[in-house]
Amino acid sequence: MIDLKTLTIKKAHNSLMKGEYSAVDLAQAYLDVIKAKNKELNAYIEVYSDVLEQAQRADEKIKAGTATMLTGIPLAIKDNILLKGKIASASSKILSNYQASYDATVITKLKEAGVVFLGRTNMDDAAMGSSTETSFYGTTRNPHDQSRVPGGSSGGSAAAVAANIALAALGSDTGGSIRQPASFCGLVGLKPTYGSVSRHGLIAMASSLDVIGPITKTVEDAQIIFDCIKGRDSMDSTSFDLPAAQTKNKKLVIGVPRAFTESEGIDASVVKNFKESLEALKKLGHEIRDITLPNISYSLAVYYILMPAEASTNLARFDGVKYGFYKAGKNLLEDYQFSRGEGFGREVRRRILLGAYVLSSGYYDAYYNKAIAVREVITNDFAEAFKGVDVIVTPTTPTPAFKIGEKFSDPLSMYLADIFTVSANIASIPAISVPSGFSEVDGRKLPLGLQFMARSGGEKELFEISKSFRSE
């Protein structure tokens, strides 16, 4: 029997190479657990019918001696990443019948590596949310406490890995949508440098902020997947090849924006865990240095101007005419109103309206242009800080996972859950969340996460410090 609980990509690869079990055996083991667990968790929207066929092809690659580290590895895919011939709905009613006509670039790369795709995972409607409660397919539950959210918008991906119904998963991160659910579910979540991973085939939310990245059990697994999916793509003009990483001393200088990390509204257990994590990093020989990021507190405001503006533009194409949900009205205008009005959920409609407002005549300069200017200031603040430190550390989230329904009717409270994560997207820098301990709430141990950020292209430093902290 395969022990899925302790399985990592490297362990699975070694076992597959030794012939201890086949890729078909491994895939079947996951299918069995999915059948037993997914109904109560709602992590998967769809389990693919050809999983065992994919696994057979992986076994052929292994027998032929052409296997990679990822050959035969079962992965879950967030529902906004296109896989040819499969539904990709972004968990939105308006795209519920959309079948992808091509593979996302990350999927092409993973297929070439021999990955087995288990299915598509639940997410917030059009990736708009921090709890996976806005999904057209219903709420996903946190495996650590099913009365709580798994985070969002990549909540289904995180829940699948945490529940051992996927070995690893792909998510997307616009303002924390990989890192926050990773933190809530006790996992590793990597948001790569903007442009280091192609966005071709990702259903766009905010094009200047969106990044695809892995959710895994270990830092090493995140690095393995990142190394496979990274690189320039001719189909994405914003993509590029990362420069070769420079060899550095294992002892790093870690910057702490203390005024920001100790501000009001942060749960006491998070503050306590953060201080303990800093002490652990000191004991490992790393230098802790207080830094100032003068304008980081404006990140959330900038994000909630730029993201809705870009989202309202990107989602304008979904009108029920060519594909997706359609509801007829008396005329073309009513067709458009009814299709979009019913096709998008409440949170999506709210953000479309907000985005249209900040882009409208008379408000464009007052809001959108000002946000663009402040974004540049924040980016420069980070660049200045990285002149003196290798990485910057914060908590990943201000609280542990919250109850289902707790913040659903209070959008401002929900938005504040992103306070520590949005700045990395604003500044286009890489960030990673790693498990840092637990907070005991109502007799349950809820995971907490520690976030490391590095300069643009600094994934190597992130992996180094994270492996050091996690003792990998």
Q: Catalytic amino acids? A: 78, 153, 177
Contacts of 262 (CB under 8 A, 6+ apart): 271
Bridge partner residues of 256 (DSSP): 290
Largest CA-CA distance found in the chain, in angstroms, rounded = 70
CA 454 from centroid of its chain's CA atoms = 17
For 295-367, where are the alpha helices, taking DSSP H only?
299-314, 332-343, 346-358
DSSP 144-162: TBTTB---SSSHHHHHHHH
Amino acid at 274: F
Token couple for 199: 């966005």
Q: State the residue for tokens 């992986």.
A: 58
Q: Is the dihedral of CA 76, 80, 81, 87 positive or negative?
A: positive
DSSP code at position 202: B
* Dist. CA 69–CA 8, nearest whole Å: 11
Q: Which residues of 43-80 are buried (b: 16+ CB within 10 A; e: fewer)?
A: bbbebbeebeebbebbbebbeeeebbbbbbbbbbbbbb
DSSP, res 245: P
